[in-house]
Structure 1
Amino acid sequence: MTRSVYRNAHQPCLPFLIILVTASLFACAQAYAQNDTIYPLTGSPIRAAVVETTAEYVAVERGATNQKISSGEILKILFEGDPPGLTKGREFALDGQYKQALEDLAEVVRDTLPRKIIEEDWEFYVAYSQSQLALAGQADKKSAAAQMIAFASNHRTSWHWFSAAKVIGDLALALGNTDDAFKWYGVLRRAPSTTQKIQSVYLTGLAHFAAGDVEKAIAEFEKVIGINVQSAPDARLQSLAKAALAKAYAKQNQADKGLELVSSVIAELGPTDIEMSARAYNAQGANFESKGDTEGAILAYLHTHLMFSSQSDADAFALSRLAELWPKVGKPERAAAARQRLRDRYPGFRP
């Protein structure tokens, strides 16, 4: 009798305990996921649970609220469970310190990563850092391209996908493969943000210029310049397109037109925009060359090399032109020095 009473008194407790434990585990899982932090390009960070990613958006949950954030509007995401190597490596990559980024990312043990999305993020920043070093002439471009193509193929639902496509296009252009550059830059026209769509047109213009089709390049640059832009990033792309258009004018022997255009860009240069400055002064140098002003061209290219050498492709172009121009003003030794520096820094460079 005592045994029966004991069993009847305690049987209801077992289902209750199961429910209690299940609820506790669910609450822990929710708290775990809610600690993801999405950093948009503008505005305050968003603390939420990342529940889905696609190339176009990141879906998050905050309590009973669901939200989709355009992938083109996201700077970075910090995930709950990120290992220190990824946290540090991501920041170094975003800051342009790619060698340090790879050192920290190498500390990550892939098999120990607690979430698939964290593994995907780690894989992207490894490929991205390697690609940027390759574009700077400090790593193999073909290997970097293969690595980023593998990422894009294996992670088609990554919010990094359009960023990967852009980098693949950059590497294709650097390797002289303009057909692949057109393909990957064209993909950006399907991207969710207006800035990425405008960027697609600008980059397609660069690919046409590299392919020697100056007329088509000019048409793309003029499209960008003609857009009624609504944001600072879009306005910046317009200025880059103006610098590129000025360089195209030099190819058409319209130096006065090119110099007038690039002077307007130089007059509005910001103190921290290295890429814009380097491209503007290189365009100025190209137009001085077109006009027959060798000394003016040398000064413009020196401006790029001495002040904006961290923009590696522009620096390599400036050095290649200095190597050709210095002898024309009676300084072959400086030409030799420029040529040696070009070989040392950018061994794979092709003008």
Structure 2
Amino acid sequence: MNDLRLTDSGPTDRLFCIQRIATITLAVACCFVSARQAHAQNDQVYVQSSTKSQRGQIETVTKNGIELKMGGNVKKFPAGDIAKILLQGDPSGLTKGREFALDGQYDQALEELEKIDISKIKRDLGKTDAVFYMTLCKAKMALAGRGDKGEAVKMAMSFVQQNGDSWHFYDVAKLLGDLALAMNNPQQAARFYGSLRNAPTTEMKIDSVYLVGLTMLAQGQNSEALAEFDKIIGIKAATPGAVRLQTLSKAGKAVALAKSGQGAEGLSLVSSLIETLNPTDVEMAARIYNAQGDCYVASGDKEGAIMAYLHTHLMFSTEPGAHAEALSHLVELWPTVGKPERAAEARQELQNRYPGYGK
């Protein structure tokens, strides 16, 4: 019979029992240490350029990025390169909500995220992640006319004020710029977008220049907008993201040219983009066709503009922001070619799908 009780059988037996107790105690302690180490090594960081995660312990988080301890090494991930993080112990609502949000399914994301009791999330990093994805969803839905922009701004401002050291900081700054631009405040938008020039990655800095160019376009500062877009077009793009921003800048330049009285040049540029268009990139395609519509409007060709906006409406309606923009233009343009009934149809769809658009 195995018995760890000490008896009076002598000092040798007592020493043997003490040694056994010490051995068992040490083994149990090692198990706890191993469990803690396994827990610590179970954070995951995904980067934009890969579907595989890198595992370790997230040690340091700032607005410029994350430091991940991987064994005896520490690896730094700049904020603009991070796609997402997964933390050991994340509640299922956060895991599901995060994936829905990153996939653009904001309704489903909010449904999952709102099930979470954030106060019960053990790690502050997890709490911040949950609040960020709720903020992202609210902002994206508001931008598509399916939510209150003012409330989205309050939520985003609260996030940056309370989480100035979050790796999501620059993403929220961009959201604030998007909301300001949608609320017809391009000067405020430019300030938010301008903050991205302090971001740690080249792509975020390029994005800042592009977005500031859009705010200048919105203010009728066409020559200034052209200068910003040309800065991007002239660089040697080294990543797919930078190439994408160059294409968007060419679309912006086309509109700026048309609004500057150079309609033929603008239409020629945007037509060249359409020739090489990847229809599976719905956001890009919708923006380019809307840019073509803007060029036609600036050139006085209303029928051409209608055809361009119809492309977005009929082929790329899954991109809510661009689709709502195209519908709003069609509402204005159809009556000018003698088809008020088509304008009524476009208005009805705009109100049904994006009830808060333009408000």
* TM-score, with length taken from structure 1: 0.92
1:114 match:
122
Partner SS, residue 276 of structure 2: coil
Which of 295, 315, 324 is the aligned partner of 1:287?
A: 295
Deviations 1:178-203 (A, max 9, x none): 23211211111111111100000000
Partner SS, residue 229 of structure 1: coil
Does residue 99 in structure 1 map to residue 104 in structure 2? Answer: no
Q: Is the 8 A contact 1:36 1:80 kept in 2?
A: yes
| Inter-partner Cα distance in structure 1 for 2:106 and 2:141 | 7
- CA separation of 1:338 and 1:118: change in aligned 2, threshold 3 A: same
Does residue 349 in structure 1 map to residue 357 in structure 2? Answer: yes
Which of 224, 241, 250 is the aligned partner of 1:216?
A: 224
Q: Is the 8 A contact 2:213 2:229 kept in 1?
A: yes
| Inter-partner Cα distance in structure 2 for 1:26 and 1:211 | 61
| Inter-partner Cα distance in structure 2 for 1:286 and 1:40 | 35
Q: Is the 8 A contact 1:51 1:61 kept in 2?
A: yes
| Inter-partner Cα distance in structure 1 for 2:251 and 2:82 | 27
**1:33 Cα deviation from its structure 2 partner:** 1.7
| Inter-partner Cα distance in structure 1 for 2:142 and 2:230 | 30
| Inter-partner Cα distance in structure 2 for 1:49 and 1:36 | 5
Does residue 332 in structure 1 map to residue 340 in structure 2? Answer: yes
2:4 match:
none
1:247 match:
255
Q: Is the 8 A contact 1:110 1:119 kept in 2?
A: yes
Does residue 37 in structure 1 map to residue 51 in structure 2? Answer: no
2:32 match:
25
Does residue 75 in structure 1 map to residue 90 in structure 2? Answer: no
1:54 match:
62
Partner SS, residue 198 of structure 1: helix
- CA separation of 1:242 and 1:148: change in aligned 2, threshold 3 A: same
Does residue 236 in structure 1 map to residue 244 in structure 2? Answer: yes
| Inter-partner Cα distance in structure 2 for 1:124 and 1:263 | 38
- CA separation of 1:348 and 1:214: change in aligned 2, threshold 3 A: farther
| Inter-partner Cα distance in structure 1 for 2:59 and 2:22 | 30
Instruction: Give the residue type in structure 2 aligned to 1:278.
Output: A
Identify unmatched segments of 5+ residues in structure 2.
1-7
| Inter-partner Cα distance in structure 2 for 1:277 and 1:99 | 24
| Inter-partner Cα distance in structure 2 for 1:152 and 1:238 | 29
| Inter-partner Cα distance in structure 1 for 2:179 and 2:199 | 19
Aligned residues: 351
**1:4 Cα deviation from its structure 2 partner:** 11
| Inter-partner Cα distance in structure 1 for 2:298 and 2:73 | 60
Q: Is the 8 A contact 1:185 1:203 kept in 2?
A: yes
Partner SS, residue 357 of structure 2: coil
Greater Cα radius of gyration, structure 1 or 2: 2
Does residue 297 in structure 1 map to residue 292 in structure 2? Answer: no
Stretch of structure 1 that moved more, 317-326 or 218-227:
317-326
Which of 170, 190, 193 is the aligned partner of 1:182?
A: 190
Partner SS, residue 324 of structure 2: helix
1:164 match:
172
Deviations 1:74-116 (A, max 9, x none): 1111111011111111000000000000111112121221211
Q: Is the 8 A contact 1:244 1:279 kept in 2?
A: no
Which of 200, 213, 217 is the aligned partner of 1:205?
A: 213
Identify unmatched segments of 5+ residues in structure 1.
none
Partner SS, residue 49 of structure 2: coil
2:329 match:
321
| Inter-partner Cα distance in structure 1 for 2:348 and 2:186 | 28
Aligned-residue CA RMSD (Å): 2.4
| Inter-partner Cα distance in structure 2 for 1:311 and 1:169 | 19
Stretch of structure 1 that moved more, 200-209 or 214-223:
214-223
**1:127 Cα deviation from its structure 2 partner:** 0.9
Deviations 1:200-227 (A, max 9, x none): 0000011111222222212111111111
Q: Is the 8 A contact 1:49 1:61 kept in 2?
A: yes
Partner SS, residue 296 of structure 1: helix
| Inter-partner Cα distance in structure 2 for 1:175 and 1:25 | 55
Partner SS, residue 192 of structure 1: coil
| Inter-partner Cα distance in structure 2 for 1:171 and 1:13 | 67
2:265 match:
257
Q: Percent identical across equivalent pairs?
A: 46
* TM-score, with length taken from structure 2: 0.90
**1:273 Cα deviation from its structure 2 partner:** 1.3
